[in-house]
Amino acid sequence: MKITQTQIDGLLIIEPPVFGDPRGYFMETYQQTRYADCGVPGPFVQDNLAFSTRGILRGLHFQIKHPQSKLVQVIKGEVFDVAVDIRPDSPTFGRWDGALLSEKNKRQLFVPPGCAHGYCVVSDEAYLTYKCGAYYHPEDEGGILWNDPDLGIDWPVTEPALSDKDRNHPQLKDLPPNKLFAPEKTS
């Protein structure tokens, strides 16, 4: 497996081995021991599948007290996938990084807890699958405006299709620290 560390601690681009021949290909999309050895801690508790069409942008989403790690992969189409570090004590707080994920390159993006996540579809349609390290808690959702000028994300679209919720998220600078990354303490 090829692992590329991004500028954000824990945010990894993963290129799993793909074994192909004239019949098609085979790849492991997750194997707990191998991925843990490469910096992708488990466990994962939920798998999600999302479908969207060209120009749709989803994000930037996160959970405050129940932060989710995510292992993201596109199984059809292509997306520009982005993570923003929202860990107040992180040296890369407020920085973003991203990668093109597609059915052709078969890359995965591991998004660590404490990062907001979003993506934009750049193909006619895309199916995106991702594992989550924590359950979804709708009451715990947070979000950052997709085009926050302080973040300067280089999205491949200027006028994406957005949900009302995503269109109305605040800028990062307008979120108090307790609305960013405040995981519940466990004893």
Rounded Cα distance between 8 and 6, Å, is 5
Rounded Cα distance between 30 and 140, Å, is 27
Catalytic residue (one of 35, 61, 136, 169): 61
Rounded Cα distance between 143 and 63, Å, is 8
Contact between residue 109 and residue 13 where contact means Cβ atoms under 8 Å apart: yes
35 part of the active site: no
130 part of the active site: yes
Rounded Cα distance between 104 and 116, Å, is 25
Catalytic residue (one of 66, 119, 130, 169): 130
Q: Which residues contact 138 (CB under 8 A, 6 or more apart)?
A: none
Catalytic residue numbers, as ranges: 61, 130
